[in-house]
Amino acid sequence: MAKGELIVALEQIEREKGVKKEEVLVMVEGAIASALRKHVGRSANVICVIDRESASIKAWVRKIVVETVEDSEMQCTVEEAKAIKKTPKVGEEVDFDVDAKDFSRIAAQTAKQVLIQKIREIERENLYEEYKPKEGEMVSGSVHRFMERNLIVDLGKAEAIVPVREQIRRERYSVGDRIRAMILKVDKAQRGPQVVLSRSTPLFMRRLFEMEIPEVNEGVVEIVEIVRDPGFRAKVVVRSHNPKVDAVGACVGIRGSRIRSIMNELSGERIDLIAWSDEISTFIGNSIAPGKANSVRIINLEQKQAEIIVANDQLALTIGRDGQNIRLACRLTGWSLSVKSEQQKADAQEAEEAAKRQTLAVLGGIGDKNAEVLIKSGLTDIYRIATLTPDQLTAFQGIGEKTAEKIIESAKKYVVENPKTAEPAAAAEATADKKVEAAVDEKKEKDAAKEEKAEA
């Protein structure tokens, strides 16, 4: 290699590839010094310098002047040092020149290897720096090859992978097919950055909404939450920040044009648009779309349990195939939801009342009418009835004094014969107590009104 050619080439590569000339020269100097040590001694202090303008190579072995040489590779006598310096002193360092012309071939090979390695490292780093900030963004490419069940996608500058878990299950691709996906994450790997794409993440659907629906992209319509069964069904909660804009209508578009384009991109995945509501019962009712709720009953607010009643012909639609619709509704709301039809609700209520009548049937003095009165009043616990007074029981319309005494006496007898094994539900007991108190107060008011009327 002629003088200066190496420097010119390195400067051109630095401009085009970003590989710093100085870094390459330092590594070449180290490689030549290492090669020289094989000839002059492995422990020798070999120094190599490449001229930054002419690319000429100079090398020398640095030794310490001593009186008695113990290590010939690192030390020299005063007489030997005089060949380099006129008046050498013990303890000084003296440099002995080494002919490095024979090592110019090593320099060329080393420069080539270093350049190839450096260029690869920089290209990998540049790709990582380019794609890492793009996590969460949409990209498109072509299917390049298959690695087991994973897709390898050519993005132009880099290859990306779509793992099987990030694919839509019902989709099938061939080599050369165009594919659009979202950059899920970018990791550093030995062979370069690994770009992982996804079509199954809810964030991919969010990006599609932003691309297809201007109101979403502008922030007028907000996508609150998305849950998906990729390729089959998704539920998207939307709300409008402009009272003049209907969030669901904006997403649907004229004759469904907007939502249809998103569904087509997702291989026909059904999308239920759910209107957001601060009222939890309303939101739960909306979440079961396309089913329609007749009523929503909160069973336990702390444990987030609710019951949804739908029309008889809406039950199958609300539950969905293999329970898919109600399962997605549960994920969307974070609540445990149970669904019943009107007929199931009526049957359950009838069965519950029958069980209560059967419980009260063991007491003497209770006919069908009296049992009905007690059931409506929440007095279905015999142990609770045994603690009442006749005045409290006669406060309920239809129960006379003698009947009340007979019922209470029968209840007390039952309690003696059947010791209590479990406490009734606190909420049910409290409700019954309130109803008893209310009935007693109402009776007192009626009696007082009668007395006032008689006195008048």
The pTM of the full predicted model, rounded to 2 decimals, is 0.62
pLDDT at 435: 54
Is the model's pLDDT at 363 over the cut of 60? yes
- Asked if 326 and 337 count as a contact pair (C-beta separation under 8 A), the reply is yes
Domain residue ranges of the chain, discontinuous segments joined by +: 5-127, 135-200, 277-358, 361-455
Mean pLDDT on 117-133:
81
Is the model's pLDDT at 64 over the cut of 80? yes
pLDDT at 455: 57
pLDDT at 53: 82
Is the model's pLDDT at 142 over the cut of 60? yes
The CATH superfamily label for domain 277-358 reads K homology (KH) domain (3.30.300.20)
118 vs 357: which has the higher pLDDT: 118
Amino acid at 336: S
Mean pLDDT on 232-249:
93
pLDDT band at 442 (very low <50, low <70, confident <90, very high): low
Give me the percent of the chain exceeding a pLDDT of 90.
Answer: 31
pLDDT at 361: 62
The CATH superfamily label for domain 5-127 reads NusA, N-terminal domain (3.30.1480.10)
Cα–Cα dist 221/213, whole Å? 9
Is the model's pLDDT at 154 over the cut of 50? yes
- Segment 178-236, tens digit of pLDDT: 999 999 998 887 676 788 999 999 999 999 999 999 999 999 999 999 999 998 999 99
pLDDT band at 368 (very low <50, low <70, confident <90, very high): low
What is the 3-class SS of the chain, one letter each residue? Answer: CCCCHHHHHHHHHHHHHCCCHHHHHHHHHHHHHHHHHHHHCCCCEEEEEECCCCCCEEEEEEEEECCCCCCCCCEECHHHHCCCCCCCCCCCEEEEEECCHHHHHHHHHHHHHHHHHHHHHHHHHHHHHHHHHHCCCEEEEEEEEEECCEEEEECCCCEEEECHHHCCCCCCCCCCCEEEEEEEEEECCCCCCEEEEECCCHHHHHHHHHHHCHHHHHCCEEEEEEEEECCCEEEEEEEECCCCCCHHHHHHCHHHHHHHHHHHHCCCCEEEEEECCCCHHHHHHHHCCCCCEEEEEEEECCCCEEEEEECHHHHHHHHCHHHHHHHHHHHHHCCEEEEEEHHHHHHHHHHHHHHHHHHHCCCCCCCHHHHHHHHHCCCCCHHHHCCCCHHHHHCCCCCCHHHHHHHHHHHHHHHHHCCCCCCCCHHHHHHHHHHHHHHHHHHHHHHHHHHHHHHC
Is the model's pLDDT at 1 over the cut of 50? no
The matching CATH number, chosen from 3.40.1010.10, 2.130.10.10, 2.60.40.420, 2.40.50.140, for 135-200 is: 2.40.50.140
pLDDT at 251: 93
pLDDT at 104: 64
Cα–Cα dist 403/360, whole Å? 14
Is the model's pLDDT at 37 over the cut of 50? yes
pLDDT at 105: 72
Mean pLDDT on 408-415:
75
Mean pLDDT on 44-49:
88
* Range picked from 35-44, 235-244, 361-370, 422-431 for highest mean pLDDT: 235-244
Is the model's pLDDT at 32 over the cut of 70? yes
pLDDT at 274: 93
Give me the percent of the chain exceeding a pLDDT of 70.
Answer: 81
- Asked if 205 and 266 count as a contact pair (C-beta separation under 8 A), the reply is yes
pLDDT at 119: 75
pLDDT at 423: 46
Cα–Cα dist 197/181, whole Å? 6
Is the model's pLDDT at 370 over the cut of 90? no
**Of the listed ranges 103-117, 122-136, 377-391, 426-440, the one predicted with least confidence:** 426-440
The average confidence (pLDDT) of the chain is 81
pLDDT at 367: 64
pLDDT at 427: 43
154 vs 372: which has the higher pLDDT: 154
Instruction: For the beta carbon of residue 63, count every other beta carbon within 10 angstroms.
Output: 24
- In CATH terms, the fold of domain 361-455 is DNA polymerase; domain 1 (1.10.150)
Is the model's pLDDT at 406 over the cut of 60? yes
Cα–Cα dist 17/13, whole Å? 5
pLDDT band at 426 (very low <50, low <70, confident <90, very high): very low
